Each structure stands twice: as C-alpha cells, then as structure tokens.
Structure 1
Amino acid sequence: MIVVAVIAAILLSAAAILTAYRILVGPNTLDRVVGIDSLMAIAASGLAVWAGYTDDATVVPGIVALALVGFLGSAAVSRFRVRDDR
C-alpha cells in the first residue's frame, strides 16, 4: 500500500506543478479558471489518497466540500462568461 500511495503522491505533485504553471502563465482568464478547477480536483484526489492510505474517513466531508466548491465556481464563471459574450 505504501508504494501505491507514494506513486500517487508523486503523480499528483507533478500534476499540481503543471497546473500551477498553467494558472500563472495562462494567456486568458478562462485558462486560469480551468487551472484552478483542476487544482481543486487534484487536491480532492490527494485527500482521497490520504484517506485510503491512513484508513481514516474523517476527510471525506472535505473531499465533498472541495468538489462542490470547484463545481460551483466553474459553473458561476461559465455563466458570467456566457452573459458577457452576448
């Protein structure tokens, strides 16, 4: 189990670094919003790996909260972006 957790942590760290680069360099606002949403998903995945590694289910509400905030943020930005394009 330790090997799987370490591999998952390495891959999630690499994904977070690449996503942070996209957030900082993104040419427009939508690229940055997609990067932030991806970073929220990576954080939720990291919490899920931690919950599986430690056999501790107390972080599950945190995972649900991160997923909900990420979804609502993306939906709000897309709604306002569509309204601004008209």
Structure 2
Amino acid sequence: MNPLDYAYTVTFVLLGAAVLLTLYRLVRGPSVMDRLVCLNAVSVLLVTFIAVEVALRGDHAYIGLVITFALLGFIGSLTAARFAERRAHDRG
C-alpha cells in the first residue's frame, strides 16, 4: 500500500464516524431544527464520501451523482430555512 491508500482509508473511516455521530444527533435531537441541520450535514458527508470515492477510483462517471446530491442537499436546506422562517413568523 502506498501512502495515498492510507490517506483514503483514514478519510473513509473519519467520514463514517462523522456520519454515525451525525445520525446519533439526528435521532436524539431535541428540536426539529437540530434534525434538519443534521440531515443537511449527512447530505454534505454523502457528497464528500462519493467525491473521495471518485478520486480513489479515478472514474469520473459519478460526478453527475455528486452534483445531484449536492443540489438536493441545497434545496433541502432552503426548504428547511423557509420552514423555520414561517414557523417563527406564525409564533409571533
């Protein structure tokens, strides 16, 4: 194994740990906004995971998938922000 393979392995382990910790926070929660932020973080971690996999394999076929997940995460964040704004406005 060359040093780059070790770097990829460490990156995947750290991304996996980050996803597990984020999913734990998603379940524990206490508020809806915490859960929405966690979903956004999971989408960013998923995009990062796929991007590292693309770099590891050197296959650029998954770039469209990376862009799709990034756009879906962005749209989800916008939807969550609008939800939070409306909820705050309704409360007074």
* Corresponding position: 1:24 with 2:18: no
Question: Which of 27, 36, 43 is the matching residue for 1:40?
Answer: 43
TM-score, normalised relative to structure 2 = 0.90
Rg larger in structure: 2
- Give me the TM-score of the superposition, normalised by structure 1: 0.96
Q: Distance in 2 between matches of 1:80 and 1:10?
A: 34
**Distance in 2, Cα, partners of 1:63 & 1:51:** 9
The whole-number CA distance in structure 2 between the counterparts of 1:52 and 1:80 is: 36
1:81 equivalent in structure 2: 84
Does 1:15 pair with 2:15?
no
Per the TM alignment, residue 13 of structure 1 is displaced from its structure 2 partner at its CA by 0.5
What 5-or-longer segments of structure 1 have no aligned partner? none
Q: Give 1:75 shift.
A: 0.6
Aligned pairs, number = 86
Corresponding position of 1:66: 69
Structure 1 Cα separation of the partners of residues 70 and 7 of structure 2: 23
